[in-house]
A and B are shown apart, each in its own frame.
Chain A
Amino acid sequence: MNPRKTLTGTLTATLTAPLTAIGAALLLSSTIAVADANSAQSDAVQVPSLKVKERLQSIEQINVTSEKTVQDIQVESQAVANLLEEADQLDQLDTAATDRPDK
């Protein structure tokens, strides 16, 4: 075994390893960045041929009605839970009709 060759090999490996690693990291990061940019682009909508007024009118015709059942999720913050309890008490005093029933 040639000791000079072994030394050169070790040196080359020591010098190229970090460069290879950095290069791989840059490649990976850029791949992820490009993928993210592409996914964001796919949401883009632009229809210049249609007038803004027509689009606004069609938006106005959409009937937004969907109702969701209130979920009984416990509030993590005690301060918020206390405030909500206080609000319930005030609402019961002021109006029984506007409390939202659990559906």
Chain B
Amino acid sequence: MQGRAGLRDHKQMHMTGLTARFHTIANLHRRTGSGSLLIILPIILLVFATPVSARTINQYPFADNTALLADATHFPSWAATLQRQAEQQSLMVRCRTEAGSGETMVSKAECRGRLRSYNRMIAKAAELTREEKITLVNYYINRTRYDRDHPERLYDEQGKRTGVKKNHWATLYEFLTERGDCEDYASAKYFMLRELGFPPDDMRIVVTYETRPRGYHAVLALRVEQDKVWLLESDNVIKKRNHSGYRYIYAMNEHSVWDHRTDY
């Protein structure tokens, strides 16, 4: 309810702002006379067009460098995933190039799961536009069966329990051959878009806190233009403008980790 009320308030505020701007321009026109219409018209375009096109509700703060926390190598579970991803990349390429070629360097068991369809998508995506590629990746990855993480106990060298590893960040190969959960959908989209040539600096796996459904959730934030960010959701929705309802917690890509928490 709070989220909906917040959105309504925001819309009302936005409408009030537009009305105020309209009155300002109308008063200006009254004072200066009809002869200045040629001057006022471009101003109307400037005032109305710029902020409306540039604004997104609660847009993920891509440019906020103060949230930069550390190099990705300092985040153990994610760093391990990046390392495995690099190691498995050659296997994925071999599955692609050797499949159906009669060579038996890779086994059928290694090239299992959704690897064949994935390789087909990568090959055919070259013919698509940039926006079509984004849509394809979002829908294709969301078609994988959901499988919940099983927390793993961590021990030190003496065998003493040190904590619990709550998230297992899957590589693309693991996701396509074994399934994944919430955060794995976001990371799989990241790796697939990387293979399609999207730069890492324009992508972040973002962990958010949401009230519907309540809990921590991961999405892929993609900067499509300088000030325009899209959120690729695991329910097939691509959120282009309305990012309300998300509380950004932390984010990462292959280079860095960002901490967006204000109440740590």
The residue in chain A whose Cβ has the minimal distance to the Cβ of B237 is A71
* Chain B residues in 8 Å Cβ range of A98: 113-114, 144-145, 176-177, 179
Do A100 and B144 have beta carbons less than 8 Å apart? yes
* Chain A residues in 8 Å Cβ range of B55: 36
8 Å CB contact of A52 from B36, B74, B217, B262:
B74
With contacts A29-B46, A52-B74, A59-B259 known, is A64 near B236, CB below 8 A?
A: no
Query: How far in angstroms is the closest Cβ of chain B from A101?
Result: 7
With contacts A60-B77, A90-B120 known, is A45 near B217, CB below 8 A?
A: no
Do A62 and B61 have beta carbons less than 8 Å apart? no
Number of A positions contacting B (CB below 8 A): 60
Do B69 and A21 have beta carbons less than 8 Å apart? no
With contacts A66-B217, A79-B132, A98-B113 known, is A21 near B39, CB below 8 A?
A: yes
Do A95 and B36 have beta carbons less than 8 Å apart? no
With contacts A29-B46, A79-B132 known, is A63 near B216, CB below 8 A?
A: yes
8 Å CB contact of A21 from B32, B176, B234:
B32
Do A32 and B50 have beta carbons less than 8 Å apart? yes
Q: How far is the CA of A50 from the CA of B70 in the complex (A)?
A: 13
* Chain A residues in 8 Å Cβ range of B24: 24, 28
* Chain B residues in 8 Å Cβ range of A86: 117, 120, 124
| Segment at the A interface, from B1-9, B84-92, B134-142, B191-199 | B134-142
Do B128 and A79 have beta carbons less than 8 Å apart? yes
* Chain A residues in 8 Å Cβ range of B214: 66
The residue in chain A whose Cβ has the minimal distance to the Cβ of B129 is A77
Q: Contacts A17-B35, A20-B31, A84-B136 given; 17 further ones with Cβ under 8 A?
A: A17-B32, A29-B50, A32-B51, A36-B54, A45-B264, A53-B74, A59-B250, A62-B249, A65-B182, A67-B148, A79-B132, A80-B139, A84-B143, A90-B114, A91-B117, A94-B116, A100-B143
7 cross-chain pairs, A with B, having the tightest CB-CB distances, nearest first: A66-B217, A66-B215, A17-B32, A68-B235, A90-B117, A87-B117, A63-B166
